Homo-oligomer: A and B are copies of this chain.
Amino acid sequence: MGDVNPDALRGHMDALLLSVLEHEPLHGYAIIEALQERSGGALAVPTGTVYPALRRLERVGYLASEWATVGGRKRRTYRLTSSGAKQLAGERSAWREFAEVIASVLEPGVGRTKTTG
């Protein structure tokens, strides 16, 4: 039950982040915990990955954020925008496509059985 190879995460981080914010706004720290919980402990994404990624996602309009103070601590809470929701849907189908493609190469005979066309 080792954790996931960092390189493999490339290009999938956005989908993960958008996904945990789908039903409720969360702040960065809570997002990291949610990722870990949902993955059964396999995803230990460092803060140096998450915070910049969240800012990037906000910059492109998929997320929006606002500051809040809870128990004397400051949090920047992120929520999914409608644009982000659309993006998430796209990321989900892209993931399914991707997983199918990789699986078809790695384990021939499973899935995509050369329907060609």
Contact = CB atoms under 8 A, between A and B. Distances in A.
A99 to B, nearest CB: 5
A98 interface: yes
B106 A4 contact: no
Contact of A99 (B37, B38, B103): B103
Interface of A: 2, 4-12, 15-16, 19-20, 35, 37-43, 91-92, 94-95, 97-99, 101-108, 112, 114-117
Nearest to A8: B11
A101 B10 contact: no
A40 B117 CA distance: 8
B106 A39 contact: no
Given A8-B98, A10-B11, A92-B106, A112 B40 contact: yes
A16 B116 contact: no
